[in-house]
């Protein structure tokens, strides 16, 4: 597998003319996903974490074309819902873990049925439980396959409080109760094969990395303490990428070595589960300028993408680089602008105080690092159809997800 490509793909690295062609052909808003960049990111992870099992955190991007690309690289899949598990299995993953949080009954029913499906006998499935209740619910359903325990190690990290999981009570069995649950699982004849923990999402700065190392250290101690014949210790993902142009990418080799050192000597295989790192810089969002409105505070540049297309800025105050694709951009005077969407919410802003060549109606803007949690978090709020997705980097560009229509919005409604 090739490892060519820069450590991170900046927005300026994309071919502006090719992106304009995609916008002309498919319209906007439009996600463009580059499968070759996905392969490069997986190769970089493999080069650094050469002895560890790498699982793809499916929730970062479940577009079928991307799932198939990741499956072809040989990574396993980490799934947070029955829907993600079904998508991963259908896309060709042969090793999957179902690590749900407070799984609904319907999800458990579907997962247990999938585990027992004779047509899926080649599917290596492990279910991870984050509470004793979840274990009991599986036992009542007759599940007798391998189990892992999600641990709450009391250490969290991430780019925002809303995605810091390792110390949040919602996630995992409290650290000091894991041994008791492990013993019960084994005593009742179940196959306990692993432990799992996850600090959070978007781990990038030194404070986050220090917290990650502390989590790994605690989990290494726990794995040695249990001694229940475990097969693996998964210490989560969350590896961040630089969203701002001035930020440097992670030194993957250093992160991998620090992870191994923090885990210590183990009789089990160490594993990680990156999602964002695999797909973030493999995607851009294209959007068209609808209005340009000077105001006393700023120039508001209205575009056809908004918080229903890319939620991260409204949800997490996240920064995404924005550039114009106008061919004559270099001839225009720069202005400072707010890039705002069409949703009736003050929060519907994709970027504030951004310097752009003076925008004009009809310009296409590109929004970078949109491959992770972009299309995945799109919604129909304000009855807005979700965008289309185009896949490139594997032959000719092809439509991966059709654009929703207004009739799609009411297709499931029942007339009274």
- Catalytic site positions: 344
Using CA atoms, how far residue 103 sits from 3, 83, 138, 185, 212, in Å, is 37, 12, 10, 18, 26
130-156 burial: b if 16+ Cβ within 10 Å, else e: bbeebbebbeebebebbbbbbbbbbbb
Residues comprising the binding site for substrate?
A: 276, 312, 316, 345, 373
Residue list, annotated binding site: 238, 273-276, 312, 316, 345, 373
Q: Where are the beta strands (DSSP E) in 108-202?
A: 124-129, 147-152, 173-174, 192-196
Residues annotated within the binding site for pyridoxal 5'-phosphate are 238, 273-276, 373
Q: Which residues does 61 contact at the CB level (< 8 Å), separation at least 6?
A: 33, 67, 275, 278, 279, 283, 371, 372, 373, 374, 375, 376
Biggest alpha carbon distance in the chain? 73
Separation CA 335–CA 55 (nearest Å): 43
Return the exposure string of 65-84: e unless at least 16 CB atoms fall within 10 Å of the residue's CB, then b: bbbbbbbbbebbbbbbbbeb
Residue 346 CA: distances (Å) to CA of 152, 211, 302, 380, 387:
36, 34, 13, 17, 21
- Report the run of H or E that residue 34 belongs to, with start and end: strand 30-34
Tell me the residue length of the chain: 416
Question: How far, in whole angstroms, is CA 200 from its chain's centroid?
Answer: 11
**The Cα angle at residue 371 between residues 366 and 372, in degrees rounded to 5:** 130
The H-or-E segment that residue 184 falls in is helix 178-187
Ordered alpha helix ranges (H), 49-147: 64-72, 82-91, 105-116, 132-140
Gap between the Cα atoms of 315 and 266, Å rounded: 39
């Amino acid at each position: 597998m090739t490892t060519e490509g820069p450590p991170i793909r900046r927005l300026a690295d994309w071919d502006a003319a090719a992106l304009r062609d995609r916008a002309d052909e498919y319209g906007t808003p439009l996600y463009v996903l580059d499968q070759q960049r996905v392969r490069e990111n997986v190769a970089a992870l493999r080069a650094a974490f050469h002895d560890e099992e790498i699982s793809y955190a499916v929730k970062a991007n479940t577009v079928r074309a991307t799932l198939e690309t990741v499956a072809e690289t040989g990574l396993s899949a980490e799934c947070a819902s029955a829907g993600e598990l079904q998508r991963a299995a259908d896309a060709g993953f042969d090793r999957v873990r179902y690590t749900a949080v407070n799984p609904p009954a319907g999800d458990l029913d579907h997962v247990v049925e999938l585990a027992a499906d004779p047509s899926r006998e080649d599917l290596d499935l492990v279910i991870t439980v984050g509470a004793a209740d979840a274990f009991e619910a599986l036992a009542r359903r007759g599940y007798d396959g391998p189990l892992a325990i999600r641990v709450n190690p009391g250490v969290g990290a991430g780019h925002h409080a809303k995605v810091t999981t390792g110390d949040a009570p919602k996630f995992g069995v409290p650290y000091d109760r894991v041994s008791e649950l492990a013993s019960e699982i084994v005593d009742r004849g179940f196959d306990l094969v692993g432990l799992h923990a996850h600090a959070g999402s978007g781990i990038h700065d030194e404070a986050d990395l220090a917290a990650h190392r502390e989590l790994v250290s605690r989990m290494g101690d726990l794995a040695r303490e249990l001694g229940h014949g475990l097969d693996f210790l998964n210490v989560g993902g969350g590896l961040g990428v630089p969203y701002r142009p001035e930020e440097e990418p992670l030194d993957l080799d250093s992160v991998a070595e620090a992870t191994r050192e923090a885990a210590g000597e183990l009789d089990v295989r160490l594993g990680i589960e990156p999602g964002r790192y695999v797909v973030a810089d493999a995607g851009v969002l294209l959007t068209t300028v609808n209005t340009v409105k000077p105001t006393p505070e700023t120039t508001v540049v209205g575009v056809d993408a908004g918080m229903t297309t890319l939620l991260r800025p409204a949800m997490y105050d996240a920064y995404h680089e924005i550039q114009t694709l106008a061919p004559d951009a270099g001839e225009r005077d720069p202005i400072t602008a707010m890039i705002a969407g069409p949703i009736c919410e003050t929060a519907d802003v994709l970027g504030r105080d951004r310097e752009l060549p003076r925008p004009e109606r009809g310009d296409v803007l590109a929004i970078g690092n949109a491959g992770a949690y972009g299309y995945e978090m799109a919604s129909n709020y304000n009855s807005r159809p979700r965008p289309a997705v185009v896949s490139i980097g594997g032959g000719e560009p092809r439509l991966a997800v059709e654009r929703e229509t207004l009739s799609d919005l009411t297709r499931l409604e029942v007339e009274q």
